[in-house]
Amino acid sequence: MPGKVTIVMYHYVRDLKRSRYPRIKGLDSADFAGQLEYVLKHYQPVRMEDVLSAMAGGADLPERPVLLTFDDGYAEHFDVVFPLLDRYGIQGSFFPPASAVLDGKVLDVNKIHFVLASEPDAALLVSTMERRVQELSREYELPSVASLRERYSQPHRYDTAEVAYLKRVLQRGLPLDARTRVVDELFARFVSQDEAAFAAELYVSLEQLRCMVRHGMFVGSHSYDHLWLDSLPPDEQERQVVRSLEFLEQVGVDGDRWVMCYPYGGYDESLLEVLGRHGCAAGLTTEVALADLGRPLELARIDTNDLPKSADAPANEWTAAA
């Protein structure tokens, strides 16, 4: 009988105070180590392969199973996360977008994070963005600033309304061409003019991923370009999946039992159909809940912020529910 698994989602894990971007929203390395101790005290870490077997009707999972997942292919996943997991004998599941590793480009999502980390004045960023939207509306068919504000300006779980508005407009509020231009301009002005050097520092390399796989870590698909897949037509969804599978082959991943992690948590019926045709074994969402193994392509996750960061902390409500 399929049960529940606690799947924890991580993004940046770095020594924030000593990093060049202390304002980046990430988990501090020391807190990560503390959270691993908490996890080891209260849960039993399982491997992705065990979860896939359990969903396919194989062996049962242990009590209070937990799976740790790391999105976006950051260099610190190799430098900070991998050595700690290896020391504790825990498997991590890593989901790097192929373009981040192969193409020397910084993903739009990361450009936006580093723009926000570099310029504390969110109002300045918003006004810069809105001015460019107005200027670009001479070249592109764009929504008005008033309609963007109305549609996208609400606070999010971890963001103020201003920051959430900027992120949403730049992630999906504008057509791809226009938003790429605005994001690139903000990145060049507030962060760096050398995108290739920035990407080389930010992301894990192909060789590092191969090393992690050789040492028992799991690597899955996070698509090729890290777009909202539910905003793409079916043929482009398929292209994103196929190209990411070619990338996973280069990494040395077993193509028979592969796992998809939806960028931004975005998926729809046609994507699920594409995944089914390509033999995808599981899909990870950003829905905040314990994962229900009866819904393999819609596995929910909790965020690292939902769990304590020290072994001494009392068990919280997520742990009690596990």
CB of 71 to Zn ion, least distance (A): 4
CA-CA distance, 61 to 44, in Å (whole number)?
9
Which CB sits closer to Zn ion, 124 or 176? 176
> Is 76 one of the binding residues for Zn ion (CB under 5 A)?
no
Which CB sits closer to Zn ion, 101 or 126? 101
Which CB sits closer to Zn ion, 2 or 265? 265
Q: Which residues of 75-104 are buried (b: 16+ CB within 10 A; e: fewer)?
A: bbbbebbbeebeeeebbbbbbbbbbbbbee
CA 2 to chain centroid: 26
Residue nearest to Zn ion (CB): 71
> Is 225 one of the binding residues for Zn ion (CB under 5 A)?
no
CB of 57 to Zn ion, least distance (A): 30
Which CB sits closer to Zn ion, 75 or 313? 75
CB of 244 to Zn ion, least distance (A): 12
Give the interface segment with Zn ion, choosing from 68-76, 81-89, 162-170, 293-301 (CB under 5 A). Answer: 68-76
Residues 242-271, mask of contacts with Zn ion (x by CB under 5 A): ---------------------x--------
Considering only residues 9, 54, 65, 72, which one is a binding residue for Zn ion as defined by CB under 5 A? 72
Beta strands at 65-71 and 44-45: parallel, antiparallel or unpaired: parallel
Under a CB-based contact definition with an 8 Å cutoff, are residues 161 and 154 in contact? yes
Q: Is the dihedral of CA 227, 232, 223, 31 positive or negative?
A: positive
Considering only residues 71, 108, 130, 225, which one is a binding residue for Zn ion as defined by CB under 5 A? 71
CA-CA distance, 278 to 307, in Å (whole number)?
34
CA-CA distance, 256 to 112, in Å (whole number)?
35
Return the structure tokens found at 159. 């963001």
**Contact set with Zn ion (CB under 5 A):** 71-72, 263
